[in-house]
Amino acid sequence: MTDATDKGAADTGVAQRYFIGEDDLRTLTGDLLAAGTEVIAPVAIDICQSPSAIAASACTRPGVAPVEIEYRRLASATELDLGRGLPELSLKGYFLPEHEALCRWHQHGTTVEVEPVPTEFAPRVVLAAKPCDSAALAVVDQVMNWDYHDELWNGRRAATTIINLACPVIDEGCFCTAVGAAPDDVKGADGLLTPVDGGYILEVTTEKGRALATAHEARLSADVPADTLGRQADDERAAVRARVAGNLEIDAASVRDWIDTHFEDPLLASLANRCNGCGACTSVCPTCHCFDIVDEEEGVGHGTRRRLWDTCQSPTFTLHASGHNPRDDQNVRYRQRINHKFSIYPLKFGEVLCTGCGRCTRVCHAGQDLIEILSEIDIAARRPRETEAGTPAEAGAAS
């Protein structure tokens, strides 16, 4: 176990399997909290009790569930919600906070003192993460380490052990398997919980995951009969994959190349006809990582330089000081979002900047539907090649 080299959260391919009862999982959570470890996990929040008037008003609307799932820092193990619902926001904010300090400054006359911010973080554990959310972290790892290493991102990644919970597939808006992720993925995570009779099969795949299992061996059983519990877990994993697969099937390589070569195609220009540029999609997206940097004065002569989530859907995102704006209408800004996720990022880093969580579609009040959009692009990407060269399969292989 000790000689296995751990490259970040890399999956070593060797999964150690354990059984853990549901009560033991809560006890383990309690043990972590008792030891002072921060635990982040889905929590069911009664929105009728929300201090936010907007959120609370939703509970009186017909058809709206009065419960919202969010990833929260647990105060106690009883808060842990294992109902497998989709948290409203992804895990992104725990690695790239909505706003965070990059440094602080103190001005003394003409001199300035810059106070660094810590880039090392206390160990913490994420339990029952959605596989699409952990996979998103692994995807964003690439840009955060493109030549220059983002120490704030990397520090939080290194300090965090993530255990996923196999996703039952939320609704027809999920499409993880179409973009290279899966509802039972361990990508970006250190282990996976799969529900079986009486509890969960825990598979740990990285050094961090194994360390967590070793430290809590008392709550785990290494005796996983392959023909009963083991098979149940395998069957469940196969079942969830099969359940999501029909939601969307695209040839991601053809989509990537088509977007790259059809920048001015009317299809890309018309995709945003319903979009009014609010940026909610980028906010809920687990992979959208664009940010702004601003100075925040906190009194005379001192303050904090912060980075904040930003959105490519805002007109000011690319606005030059001269007044010139390279992306001066919503159609081109929406095209940018699609282009960045499904063409620019895969061309640069070999991975789609999307894990198919479907949050953007669910949150959009204008009805922008990413499944519909990707299907349209996929059809366009196959069409000319079908006429020229025969089958869509050939078109995919040619790219």
Residues forming contacts to other proteins in the complex (CB under 8 A) are 102-103, 105, 107, 110-112, 114, 116-117, 119, 143-144, 146-152, 260, 263-264, 289-295, 297, 303, 305, 307, 310, 312, 317-322, 324, 326-327, 332, 339-340, 343-344, 347-348
* Beta strands 199-204 and 111-116, pairing class: unpaired
Q: How far is the CB of 331 from other proteins (least distance, A)?
A: 12
Q: How far is the CB of 92 from other proteins (least distance, A)?
A: 14
* Residue 117, both tokens: 């911010």
Nearer to other proteins by C-beta: 296 or 388? Answer: 296
* 343 DSSP 8-state letter: I
Q: Least Å distance between CB 289 and other proteins? A: 7
What does the alpha-carbon distance between residue 90 and residue 40 come to, in Å, rounded to a whole number? Answer: 12
Closest CA to 125 of 90, 76, 159, 82: 159
Please state the closest distance from residue 235 (CB atom) to other proteins, in A.
41
Residue 160 or 339: which CB sits closer to other proteins?
Answer: 339
Query: In a 3-state reduction of DSSP, which class is residue 76?
Result: coil
Closest contact distance (angstroms) between CB of 270 and other proteins is 17
Q: Considering the complex, state which of residue 194 and residue 304 has its C-beta at the smaller distance from other proteins.
A: 304
Residues 357 and 133: beta-carbon distance below 8 Å = yes
Distance CA(124)–CA(101), nearest Å, equals 20
User: Residues 170, 86: contact at Cβ < 8 Å?
Assistant: yes
Q: Give least dist CB 290 to other proteins, A.
A: 3
How near is the Cβ of 252 to other proteins at its closest, in Å? 16
Nearer to other proteins, 294 or 389 (CB): 294
Half-sphere exposure of residue 38: CA atoms within 13 angstroms, side-chain side: 13
Six-digit token pair at 59? 């509970």
Residues 6+ apart with CB under 8 A from 329: none
- Write the DSSP string, 373-399: HHHHHHHHHHHHHHHHHS-HHHHHHH-
Q: Could you tell me the smallest distance in angstroms from the CB atom of residue 24 to other proteins? A: 40
Q: With respect to other proteins, which residue has the nearer C-beta, 83 or 315?
A: 315
Residue 224 in contact with residue 195, Cβ under 8 Å? no
DSSP track, 247-276: T----HHHHHHHHHH-TT-HHHHHTTTT--
Query: Between 333 and 362, whose beta carbon lies closer to other proteins?
Result: 333
> What single-letter DSSP state applies at residue 185?
-
The C-alpha atoms of residue 162 and residue 125 are separated, in whole angstroms, by 6
Q: How far is the CB of 55 from other proteins (least distance, A)?
A: 29
Closer residue to other proteins (CB): 36 or 116: 116
- The number of C-alpha atoms within 13 Å of 307 and in the hemisphere containing its C-beta is 15
The least CB distance from residue 126 to other proteins, in Å, is 23
* Residue with smaller CB distance to other proteins, 52 or 111: 111
- Nearest C-alpha neighbor of 338 from the set 179, 190, 230: 179
Residue 154 vs residues 159, 164, 187, 282, 313: alpha-carbon distances, Å? 8, 19, 16, 21, 27
- Closer to other proteins by CB, 31 or 292: give it: 292
Nearer to other proteins, 103 or 238 (CB): 103
